[in-house]
């Protein structure tokens, strides 16, 4: 009995110690906003992919987001009524795993009390799009999926993927009527699949023919790319749409050159950037293009686009060189800048009382009011309730035969074809 008493005493002691330690260690989350009216703290969650299959574009994007947050924080942010706002952020790398993204989102919400998230991929953003409505958390993503445009708390700076793709299709129809198009994208990835229904519908309406629809893994190897290209060679397409990220699309462009396929590859916004020149190589010069709603930073500097100076200043302040400021960095910067502009338009009392809901309201107020302006780096953005399509313009960037980037546009979305709506209706 004495031994049992000793055990019981020991267990009770352990339980008490564990309970006390748990009580001290696990703190209840702080509120998303502070009460002091002279200064507010806005808590933000930042979801990145720096180690997963889209890290080839995700690392620079994350740098851009963080550089912007740091820069605007130091420069000073004030609400519409002059109350100073300090941004406080938590960053998590979810490695492009939507399951992991949801776990981190719950950490943002329940542990840190964020009112806004700067997110990343399509599958995870779509997955969380209904949850954030209940939580009233504004979500500005790097995914430009058309399905998100109908969600009340999802926002992004450029036009959606489907509208961007239709801009490319419309351009093809204008330069080569009746052209044949082959599609290369990862059939198992929501991001890659996102604009496909819209592309097919727009191509049909504009008199183009989709001759192949081939699976190319997002994390492709050279062999994957060659296998995919082999499947389209005998279809003899004039244009090839690549819906993956830069590594995969560059490998496909190389494989096209190797197989002697005389077609032009057009990649979506994440499949083509400044690195494409080196990644594709001279054999692909004149045969590769990308859709981009954003002006490439190097071109923006050449053309003295005002906004680029701000981005460069922020990059330098964060310890980056001017060469670190690439398209991805710019995209990340602009997402954070949109959030900052929304905070600057909100009333401090509304921000305190309603948090993310107040930010959503000012973002949607741009529908009839002043657009969000990015000083020429991307088209001004307006968000209408139920239709968060920021704009309907994008450039086409050609890697010309001299290995230089040539800007075509800005091009507009084809009239009479609502590509975002096609995607939403198709559920893709």
Partner 1 sequence: MPAGVFKETYGEEIAIFRYPIHYAGAALGLLFALMLPILVGPYYMLLAVSFLIFLVGTVGLNITVGLAGLISLAHAALMGMGAYVTAFLAEKGVNILVAIPVAGLSAAALAFILALPSFRLKGYYLAMASLAAQFIIEYIFALIDPDQYVPIPDEAKYLGGIYLGRGLPLYYTTLAITIVSILTAVNLGRSILGRAMKAVRDNDVAAEVVGINVYYVKAIAFTIGGFYAGLAGGLYALYSSGIGWEGFTLEGSIEYLGMVLIGGPGRIVWGSFLGVLLVRTGWTLLESTLADLIVSYVAAALKYLILGGMIAGFIIFEPEGLIAVLRRFKEYLRLWPYSY
* Residues binding partner 1 (CB under 8 A): 1, 3-4, 7-8, 10-12, 15, 18-19, 22-23, 26-29, 48, 50-51, 55, 90-93, 95-100, 102-103, 106-107, 109-111, 123, 126-128, 130-131, 187-190, 193, 428
Closer of 8 and 317 to partner 1 (Cβ): 8
Nearest approach, Cβ of 184 to partner 1 (angstroms)? 16
CA 271 vs CA 295, 314, 320, 336: distances in Å: 15, 25, 24, 22
Nearest approach, Cβ of 22 to partner 1 (angstroms)? 5
Closer of 108 and 383 to partner 1 (Cβ): 108
Closer of 188 and 408 to partner 1 (Cβ): 188
Nearest approach, Cβ of 370 to partner 1 (angstroms)? 34
Nearest approach, Cβ of 198 to partner 1 (angstroms)? 15
- Joined together, the tokens standing for residue 241 give 């749409």
The C-alpha torsion from 205 through 209 and 214 to 215, rounded to 10°, is -20
Question: Hunting for tokens 């077609």 — which residue is that?
Answer: 263
Closer of 103 and 404 to partner 1 (Cβ): 103
Closer of 96 and 405 to partner 1 (Cβ): 96
Nearest in space to 192 (alpha carbons), one of 251, 122, 98, 97: 122
Packing angle between helix 55-75 and helix 246-259, nearest 10 degrees?
A: 140
Nearest in space to 237 (alpha carbons), one of 266, 200, 212: 212
Nearest approach, Cβ of 309 to partner 1 (angstroms)? 28
Nearest approach, Cβ of 284 to partner 1 (angstroms)? 29
Nearest approach, Cβ of 402 to partner 1 (angstroms)? 36
Reported residue count of the chain is 428
Closer of 64 and 293 to partner 1 (Cβ): 64
Nearest approach, Cβ of 78 to partner 1 (angstroms)? 28
Pinpoint the alpha helices (H) of 113-195.
Answer: 122-128, 131-135, 161-175, 190-193
**Contacts for 368 with CB less than 8 Å, ≥ 6 apart:** none
Nearest in space to 210 (alpha carbons), one of 175, 247, 189, 184: 184
- Joined together, the tokens standing for residue 181 give 């198009």
Closer of 102 and 324 to partner 1 (Cβ): 102
The helix or strand, by DSSP H or E, that contains position 380, with its residue range, turns out to be none
**Contacts for 24 with CB less than 8 Å, ≥ 6 apart:** none
Closer of 84 and 111 to partner 1 (Cβ): 111
- Joined together, the tokens standing for residue 84 give 């100073």
Query: Residue 178, Cβ neighbours under 10 Å: how many?
Result: 11
């Amino acid at each position: 009995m004495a031994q049992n008493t000793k055990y019981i005493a020991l267990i009770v002691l352990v339980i008490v110690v564990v309970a006390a330690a748990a009580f001290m260690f696990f703190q209840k989350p702080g509120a998303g906003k502070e009460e002091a009216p002279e200064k507010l703290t806005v808590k933000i969650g930042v979801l990145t992919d720096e180690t997963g299959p889209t890290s080839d574009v995700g690392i620079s994007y994350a740098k851009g987001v963080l550089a912007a947050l740091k820069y605007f924080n130091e420069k000073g942010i004030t609400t519409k009524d002059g109350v100073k706002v300090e941004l406080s952020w938590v960053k998590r790398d979810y490695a492009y795993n939507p399951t992991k993204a949801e776990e981190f989102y719950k950490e943002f919400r329940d542990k840190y009390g964020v009112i806004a998230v700067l997110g990343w991929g399509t599958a995870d953003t779509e997955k969380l799009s209904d949850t954030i409505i209940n939580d009233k958390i504004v979500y500005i993503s790097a995914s430009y999926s058309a399905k998100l445009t109908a969600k009340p708390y999802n926002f992004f700076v450029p036009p959606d993927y489907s509208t961007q793709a239709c801009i490319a299709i419309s351009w093809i129809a204008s330069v080569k009527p009746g052209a044949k198009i082959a599609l290369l994208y990862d059939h198992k990835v929501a991001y890659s699949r996102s604009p496909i229904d819209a592309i097919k519908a727009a191509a049909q309406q504009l008199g183009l023919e989709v001759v192949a629809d081939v699976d190319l893994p997002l994390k492709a190897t050279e062999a994957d790319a060659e296998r995919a290209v082999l499947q389209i060679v005998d279809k003899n397409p004039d244009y090839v749409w690549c819906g993956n990220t830069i590594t995969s699309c560059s490998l496909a462009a190389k494989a096209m050159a190797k197989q002697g396929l005389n077609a032009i590859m057009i990649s979506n916004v994440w499949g083509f950037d400044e690195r494409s020149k080196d990644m594709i190589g001279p054999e692909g010069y004149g045969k590769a293009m990308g859709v981009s709603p954003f002006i490439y930073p190097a071109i923006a500097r050449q053309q003295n686009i005002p906004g680029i100076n701000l981005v460069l200043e922020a990059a330098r302040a964060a310890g980056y060189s001017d060469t670190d400021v690439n398209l991805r960095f710019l995209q990340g910067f602009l997402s954070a800048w949109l959030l900052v502009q929304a905070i600057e338009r909100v009333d401090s009392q509304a921000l305190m009382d309603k948090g993310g809901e107040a930010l959503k309201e000012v973002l949607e107020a741009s529908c009839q009011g002043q657009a969000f302006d990015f000083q020429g780096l991307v088209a001004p953005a307006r968000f209408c309730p139920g239709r968060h399509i920021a704009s309907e313009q994008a450039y086409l960037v050609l890697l010309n035969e001299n290995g230089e980037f040539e800007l075509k546009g800005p091009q507009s979305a084809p009239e009479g074809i609502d590509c975002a709506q096609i995607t939403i209706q198709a559920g893709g």
